[in-house]
Structure 1
Amino acid sequence: MNTYSHPFLRGLKQQPEGKEKDLTGIRDWLSTQPHLPSISDEYIYLFLHSNYYDMKATQDTIEYYFTLKTGTPDLFSGRNVGSSRMKVALDITHMVALPYKTSEGYNILVYRFSDTDYTKMNFADLVRMFCMFNDLRLSEDGLSEGYIVIFDMKGCSLGHLTRVSLPALRSFMLYIQDAHPARLKRINVVHTASFINQVMYIVKPFIKGALMSLLHLTSNGPASLIDIELLPSDYGGPLKSLEEFHKEQRELMETSYKDWLIDTETFKVEEKKRIKKPNRGIFASLTGGFKTLEID
């Protein structure tokens, strides 16, 4: 077992009650999947919780998660937050978890550019940092009831759009929809740019109906969608600025979580040990494009 109890750096503070049979069921299934890594009970509970304790959905998410991490090293390796590339990704963005939850108990995450010079943007690096930040949030938040995500397009230009990598976008969309062990409740895209139709034209082929139903676009700010009392001063709320939150959470990532994030790179599948390989699937990403992963 790894040094840390992934994905929780300081341990899962409160494990769910009455779910021991679910845990045993996944443990029994994992014993028949020698290609998958050994993971802690806490890790299993995260996958179970994100799938509302549906056994088959949990198995599928675990399979997708580790296979995708193995098959797309451009996005899931090189997770040293102190590297020059990751520093740039943090320098040009604000990646923030707001401190208060919604009335439904949902956590709120905000992403936007702090430096809108598109020549500084490396799309794959931003996706890698996005996934690293999400891992940190899963660790800090525990078994969250759900997440509301705010993507702020203010300052985005067509120059940013030209720097989007389609392979990285495919990987990212597959991860968010099929592999990310979190309950995604709503995606609010605010301050939408005039070229939002071009953005949707590129992204839409990779979006399934379930995710599309969570997507809300507005040319206004987030106060039109979120209780203003939960928002930072940037959006007219009473909380401190996104820059201040970003600095605090960046420091947490660069200190407490630095070694932990690097360590998470070791959680991969061993394809030589896979008993029955899927006929088609995530492996196609290495030769051009994703299809549907078939899992037994």
Structure 2
Amino acid sequence: MTTRRGQELDAMLSEMQNWFETNPNLPEKIEPIVLHRFLKCMHYDVEKTKTIIELNYGLRNKNPHIFIDRNMDDEQTSKGLQVSDLLILPGLTPERHKVLLFRMADFDPSTRNSVEETKIFFMMTDARFTEPDIETRAEDQNEKPDFADTYIADGDVQIVDIDGYTMRHLAYISIFVLRVYMKFVQEAYPSRLRAIHIINCPSFLDRMMAMMKPFIREEVYQMINYHTEGMDSLYKVVPRDMLPVEYGGKAGTIAEIKTHWLRHLKEKTAYLSDDKYWKIASQSKSRWSLF
């Protein structure tokens, strides 16, 4: 049975879908659940949602080497997938937040590539955004029009493990890519950032953060938590069971979680490389179709 809330969401999504598909400043297509994520991120304020969507795709098209020109079989991308671990952990926290964990798999500074690492991050999150954030039955999706409101996270929590970082690694950080990444995540990302937890902090952390601070908004900077005395302080804010086995949790090993998401990326290859979802092709749309 369709609830009143479900009817309202259906109407809002239909309106937004039409706006998106007839907007010459946007790509041709968007997945309905991705559109729903944008709306939820902006607390269902339609005008604010339109603004963040146009900023999202505007930034993508200004930086196609990061957001559009992507292929898992590319040599540099394949190497990036090997030397870094980006894990999207299963389940949601009690606050309904999704947890992402980043760490180096190869400590050699020469293996760092800011463009590829950033590209992989957005490939992974773009693939993730096409599915509910927790497992759900197909019948739930069909029978509950507002299911996405329940199965979409209320925000993201990032855990950054910088074990193995040295001063030499800082030389391989691209300031340009860092600026693009921070602007996109802070202003155009379809999920609200709720907290950043940095673990295994090195002694030179202050210099690392000094490099990043010019690109971090004050409210985001206040979300950063430094765990300098082991993992116990992290367990107080992120459920221990949600973490990989290597971090004292029960979510599976890093290899198992990574294999799951690499398989998911492979399944989403056509979507991730389809220009109709990412490239702005104004000539294919007419502004007059809005009226």
> Smaller-chain TM-score range?
0.7 to 0.9
After superposition, the C-alpha distances for 1:209-239 in whole angstroms (9 at most, x for unaligned) are 2322322222233435322122222111233
Normalised by the length of structure 2, the TM-score is 0.80
The amino acid across from 1:52 in the alignment is: H
In the aligned structure 1, how far is the partner of 2:16 from the partner of 2:116? 33
Tell me which residue corresponds to 1:258.
Answer: 269
In the aligned structure 2, how far is the partner of 1:234 from the partner of 1:135? 26
| Aligned partner of 1:81 among 66, 72, 88 | 72
Tell me which residue corresponds to 1:120.
Answer: 111
Tell me which residue corresponds to 1:162.
Answer: 171
Query: Are 2:195 and 1:186 equivalent residues in the alignment?
Result: yes
Deviation at 1:184, TM superposition (A): 2.0
Alpha carbons of structure 1 residues 127 and 31: separation in structure 2 relative to 1, 3 Å = closer
How is 1:70-149 mapped onto 2 (pairs within 5 angstroms)? Answer: 70-141=61-132, 143-149=152-158
In the aligned structure 2, how far is the partner of 1:45 from the partner of 1:32? 17
Query: Are 2:59 and 1:68 equivalent residues in the alignment?
Result: yes
Tell me which residue corresponds to 2:261.
Answer: 249
Deviation at 1:264, TM superposition (A): 5.3
Q: Percent identity?
A: 25
Tell me which residue corresponds to 2:249.
Answer: 237
In the aligned structure 2, how far is the partner of 1:31 from the partner of 1:120? 41
Tell me which residue corresponds to 1:37.
Answer: 27
Query: Is the CA contact (8 Å cut-off) linking 2:33 and 2:129 kept in structure 1?
Result: no
The amino acid across from 1:242 in the alignment is: I
Alpha carbons of structure 1 residues 267 and 117: separation in structure 2 relative to 1, 3 Å = same
Deviation at 1:110, TM superposition (A): 0.9
In the aligned structure 2, how far is the partner of 1:108 from the partner of 1:66? 24
Alpha carbons of structure 1 residues 88 and 26: separation in structure 2 relative to 1, 3 Å = same
SS of the aligned residue for 2:173 comes to: coil
Deviation at 1:252, TM superposition (A): 2.5
In the aligned structure 2, how far is the partner of 1:265 from the partner of 1:112? 32
In the aligned structure 1, how far is the partner of 2:261 from the partner of 2:273? 17
In the aligned structure 2, how far is the partner of 1:271 from the partner of 1:31? 11
Tell me which residue corresponds to 1:22.
Answer: 12
Deviation at 1:151, TM superposition (A): 0.9
The amino acid across from 1:191 in the alignment is: N
Normalised by the length of structure 1, the TM-score is 0.79
In the aligned structure 1, how far is the partner of 2:58 from the partner of 2:214? 22
Tell me which residue corresponds to 1:10.
Answer: none
The amino acid across from 2:205 in the alignment is: I
Alpha carbons of structure 1 residues 29 and 264: separation in structure 2 relative to 1, 3 Å = closer
| Matched positions, count | 260
- Runs of 5+ consecutive residues of structure 2 not aligned to the other structure: 134-151
- Runs of 5+ consecutive residues of structure 1 not aligned to the other structure: 1-14, 276-296
SS of the aligned residue for 1:237 comes to: coil
SS of the aligned residue for 2:273 comes to: helix
Query: Is the CA contact (8 Å cut-off) linking 1:75 and 1:124 kept in structure 2?
Result: yes
SS of the aligned residue for 2:267 comes to: coil
Query: Is the CA contact (8 Å cut-off) linking 1:144 and 1:183 kept in structure 2?
Result: no
